[in-house]
Amino acid sequence: MSFSLISHFTVGELRDWLLSDNATTTTLQKLAKGFTPEMIAAVSKLMRNQDLIVIAQKCEIITRFRNTIGLRGRLSTRLQPNHPTDDLKGIAASMIDGLLYGSGDAVIGINPATDSPASVVSLLNMIDGLRTKYNIPTQSCVLCHVTTILQVIKQAPVDLVFQSIAGTEKTNKSFGISLSILQEAYDAALSLQRGTIGNNIMYFETGQGSSLSANAHHNIDQQTLETRAYAVARKFNPMLVNSVVGFIGPEYLFDGKQIIRAALEDHFCGKLLGLPMGVDVCYTNHAEADQDDMDNLLTLLGVAGCNFIMGIPGADDIMLNYQSTSFHDALYLRKVLNKRPSPEFEAWLLKQQIMDEHGNQLPIQSSHLLLQ
Amino acid sequence: MSTTISNNIIQQDPWSSLKAFTAARIALGRTGTAIPLKEVLAFKLAFAHARDAVYSLLDDQQLAVELDIFKLPVYSLQSKSDSRNIYLQRPDLGRQLNDTSKKRLQDLSKEEYDICIILADGLSATAVNKNALPVLRSLIPTLKQYNIAPIIIVQNARVAIGDEIASICKAKLSVVLIGERPGLSSPDSLGAYLTFSPMVGLTDESRNCISNIRLEGLQHNLATEKILYLIQESFRLNLSGINLKDTSKSYCKL
């Protein structure tokens, strides 16, 4: 139905039309299911950075679990308190640090160092314990393999189900998944009914180049395959989709300029397909990039209306060994663009006297509840 | 103005005691929304060390001198990447020996071996320069029952180059000690990859990996214990990879 409205466009006409004032937020929301990933990837290649930004900004993709993510004027963060040996106290220390810096409304999400079910269960219990103790309106996730979550889902508090996905069946097979495994996990997590205000329960990560790594690209360019991964994601009404753009390495995106361009393409393509896009604004130490590149990208994505970014102590992930955005970076972006956290989380930050009503951080006393 | 502006500028975080539990950069404090300069400079210094590690070179002459104690031949080889920039952009070239190195190894390899030990720079030659010898000093004396091939040092190399090298050496098992991707807090982290029946075309599920070998991470003697355990299990079961479980708590990030 939505496809028939636009099926006569050439790719060039689609580019011009998307930039026109006729392509409004509502129109784009209605058309989202009619956009095929191949055409959206193609049209992204006809666009300059400003085109990718202005069109993405028109998209508003809202999702809900315990809070509301993606409202216009809001910027959320995934609190990423990783630790190289999954030490529970080490992870809790980074969580407290992040919460006191106003981070964690998109999700509190840990990349586990091991995928063992026992370890995943103890991590899930720990985050859920802190979340319920302080009554934090957010959701948790341990980013283990989806089959591990299926193993533990009956014995652990599972909010969001994570999986890395890609744009070819062969790559997904190399990730150890298929559409039916994703469907099984989706159904299992839905049946838990843990969301209080919504039922978006999947968290997907993607990244340009994963099919080349898996030698499963069928000679298709990496942006088309990336957008095909988004078409997989939209089947499962995800809460969050995150392009880990600078993580994959310089063999795919060599320097800051390429990382910035790819991130804007990914954000644009995901948003047009109707996905709640976040971006891991990041680089590895073997890429030609530095903090200045990340500041540029962060600011551009803020203008483009990115739903969420990562929050990592001092931008240094000591488990995954790469640099992403710090808790401070999110505060910077909210300040210069006058953005706020998700409304439910904002209310919690105000109540905890972490933030004031103008969005400024408040001084934290050693007697603060979270430090007890 | 009669009074100066106070230099008590930084909003300190009263939870620095939590630093006891993690090496993460927590309780940094702030000025406005920004990280204080002291922490910004510490970050930049760590970044410079990590960048230096990526472009560091294997000290193959020094390594060869130190490896002399094992009374094994030492060969120095090159991958098909002839520069660091090409190496970073073309992982496939880092998985293959260049023609000269391949021919040289073929000419030198006559007999069959149990174990082939390979030192590869990977993404941090610094890691190999600092950590390979201490591991080998405790490992090699425990391998008396095995026939060990000449020790190979290889530049601009990825893990999978070990498959080509070990198969030319006709070795039953390869142990690749390779510099891991440097993190800000770990520019010198060494990884050990074990592959049973190494041959060209194998992928990561055929290997076992021990990661984060460095003074501040997995200590050399503990790493040696794990490597020895995996070698013995590998020979007992005639396999390596996902079907060989390391029962100890190691992890692996490729």
Decide: B86 and B23 in contact? Cβ < 8 Å.
no
Closest residue, chain B, to A291 (C-alpha): B44
Task: Give residue B242's pLDDT.
Answer: 78
Helix (H, G, I), strand (E, B) or coil at A347: helix
CATH class for the region spanning B54-237: alpha beta
Among chain B residues, CA nearest to A253:
B89
Q: Which of B21, B30, B88 sits opposite A286 (nearest CB)?
A: B88
Region B6-20: mean pLDDT is 96
* Six token digits for residue A157: 């508090």
Residues, chain A:
372
A-proximal residues of B, 145-164, CB under 8 Å: none
Q: Which of A316, A317, A334 to mutate to test the interface with B (most CBs of B within 10 A)?
A: A316
pLDDT digits (tens, 9 = 90+) for A47-99: 999 999 999 999 999 999 999 999 999 999 999 999 988 999 999 999 999 99
pTM above 0.90, yes or no: yes
Collect all residues of chain A within an 8 Å Cβ-Cβ radius of residue B189: 321
The DSSP 8-state label assigned to residue B6 in this structure reads P
Q: Is A285 on the interface with B (CB under 8 A)?
A: yes
Interface check for A102 against chain B (CB to CB < 8 A): the answer is no
The answer to whether B111 contacts chain A (CB < 8 Å) is no
Please give the residue of chain B at the shortest CA–CA distance from A335.
B33
Q: What is the CATH number of domain A61-355+367-371?
A: 3.20.20.70
Q: pLDDT (tens digit, 9 = 90+) per residue, A300-309?
A: 999 999 999 9
What confidence tens digit (pLDDT) does each residue in B167-201 have? 999 999 999 999 999 999 899 999 999 999 999 98
CB contact under 8 A, B123 and A92: no
The dihedrals phi and psi of B78, each to the nearest 5 degrees, come to -130, 145
Distance CA A126, CA B227 (A): 32
For strands B151-155 and B74-78, give the pairing: parallel
Set of chain B residues whose Cβ sits within 8 Å of the Cβ of A320: 183, 253
What is the C-alpha separation between B221 and A242, in angstroms, rounded?
Answer: 39
Q: Would you place residue B251 in the very low, low, confident or very high pLDDT band (cuts 50, 70, 90)?
A: very low
Angstroms from B48 CA to nearest CA on chain A: 9
- Tokens 């049973």, located at residue: B196
Instruction: Name chain A contacts of B43, Cβ cutoff 8 Å.
Output: 291, 314-316
User: Both tokens of residue A187?
Assistant: 């159904």
Residue A306: name the closest of A15, A76, A129 by CA.
A76
User: In chain B, what are the domain boundaries?
Assistant: 54-237
- Cross-chain Cβ contact B27/A97 below 8 Å: yes
- Is any Cβ of chain A less than 8 angstroms from the Cβ of B33? yes
A251–B88 C-beta distance less than 8 A:
yes
Among B180, B2, B93, B249, residue whose Cα is nearest residue A119: B249
Q: Is A365 on the interface with B (CB under 8 A)?
A: yes
Per-residue pLDDT tens over the stretch A111-151: 998 888 999 999 999 999 999 999 999 999 999 999 999 99
CB A90 within 8 A of CB A83: yes
Q: Is A362 on the interface with B (CB under 8 A)?
A: no
